[in-house]
Chain A
Amino acid sequence: MAHERLMRRFSRGEAAACRELYEMYGRAVYVVALKALDDRGLAEEAVQLTFLRAWEAAARFEVGRDPGPWLYTIARRVSIDLYRRERRHRDHHQGTTEIVALPPSIEDTWDTWQVRAALDRLPADELEVVRATHFLGLSHTETAGKLGIPVGTVKSRSHRAYRRLAGLLAHLREASA
């Protein structure tokens, strides 16, 4: 229902609704674009284009649907277009005319999208434990020291976080966009 209300406002052209949609999915769009393009500047451009295209197409969006897969589809398309544009420019300057093949990283972006979107639904205290483990490579003891909490609390937050992630991502393949 929250999605439906938001997308109804978005389709009416409310800028505040665009900001809310960005708060929900902006990071996932950015991460997908970064994964596909491997360039922060291009990823930022992809984020702007994705939301601009969503904005332009909002009147045709069925407001009862989950906007996540819709935004992902736009973000992937935008990333592919930007990738091809950059390759054409590079080939033009090098005087080559090879057919532009897409990088394998494009194919993995749906998994990346779903995991990032699930992470963005975790409570902040659980998210920071998962981040410490996977991004910073810390043990539970090191995480406890960094966050200033008991090791037992790290373990319980970690277990809750992974249970929640497993639930949110239970149908990774079935939910293909």
Chain B
Amino acid sequence: MRCDDFRAAFLAGDLGDMHFAHLSGCEACRAAQEDLATVGDVLNDPDVWQRPPPGLAEQVVAAVSPPAPTGRAVRWLRLAAAVVLVVAGIGLVVRALPEGADWEVELFATDLAPQASGAVKGWVTDGGTRVALEAAGLDPAPEGFVYELWFSSDDLHVSAGTFTRPDGAQGWVGVSRADFPRLWITLEAVDDDPGPSRTTVLDTNP
């Protein structure tokens, strides 16, 4: 009997007298028993047979290589650009607000952007909150993507606006920070998904 046949039978759980006879005379197979038993344990672990969801490959490739916008994406990119312009327009108003903000909160780096840092200032108004972002260590959003500032309370997320250049971006949100204590910034593909992506670059609770 060859060592390969013994080891195959071991993994199959199908050892017979001739296999034990081989084992008694084969030091290499005796030494391999512990590893073979480990392999058998892993094969019996349900985790090793799980599959990632089908769409994960596309998400991975998209994360490393922002796609060029095409068709519908171009239309959304134009919409996003309009939003950015609106946010910039609000920024002119914000600069006219008093020096002291009503609140200021620090944003911390995440694993996706470990060099980033930032802070958000807020001015409470009758209808909501005007916000201004100061950020460092973040590049402008790549083509086909925008940054988005979120106010969140548990699983409820409200956008305060999108922008392509993080530092100096300003926006408005119709909720209060007291009710939505978590502030965070994601990188969003320009698409029709209204919710936050999982690509978080700054967060009050990283």
User: A and B, one complex?
Assistant: yes
If over half of A's interface residues share one DSSP class (helix, strand or loop), that class is named, otherwise mixed; here it is helix
Task: Determine whether the beta carbon of B112 is less than 8 Å from that of A52.
Answer: yes
CA distance A34 to B42 in the complex (A): 13
A49 touches B111 (CB 8 A): yes
**How many residues in A have their beta carbons less than 8 Å from beta carbons of B?**
50
Question: Do residues A115 and B48 form an inter-chain contact, with CB atoms below 8 A?
Answer: yes
Is A162 part of the contact surface with B, judged by Cβ < 8 Å?
Answer: yes
Complex Cα spacing A134 to B9, Å: 14
Size range of the interface on B?
A: 35 or more
> What string of 1s and 0s marks CB contacts (under 8 Å) between B180-206 and chain A?
000000000000000000100000011
B44 within 8 A of A: yes
Please determine whether A23 and B57 come into contact, CB atoms closer than 8 angstroms. yes
B52 touches A112 (CB 8 A): no
Q: Let me know if B8 and A48 touch, CB within 8 A.
A: no
Contact B61 A115 (CB under 8 A): no
Tell me if A55 and B64 are in contact (CB < 8 A). yes
With contacts defined as CB atoms under 8 Å apart, how many contacts are there between chain A and chain B in the complex?
120
CB distance from B18 to the nearest CB of A (A): 14
* Interface 9-mer from B30-38, B85-93, B96-104, B125-133: B30-38
- Contact partner of A48 among B5, B12, B36, B59, CB < 8 A? B59
Contacts of B32 in A (CB 8 A): 170
Known: A49-B112, A172-B35. A112 touches B48 (CB 8 A): yes
Does B7 interact with chain A (Cβ within 8 Å)?
yes
Q: Within 8 Å CB of A108, what residues of B?
A: 42
Query: Is B63 positioned at the interface, with any CB of A under 8 Å from its CB?
Result: yes
**B64 engages A51 (CB within 8 Å):** yes
* Contact yes or no, A18 B60, CB < 8 A: yes
Question: Given that A85-B206, A111-B38 are contacting pairs, would A27 and B51 also be in contact in the complex, using a CB cutoff of 8 Å?
Answer: yes
Across the A-B interface, the 10 shortest Cβ-Cβ residue pairs: A15-B65, A166-B7, A162-B8, A30-B52, A115-B42, A172-B35, A135-B49, A55-B64, A163-B8, A162-B11
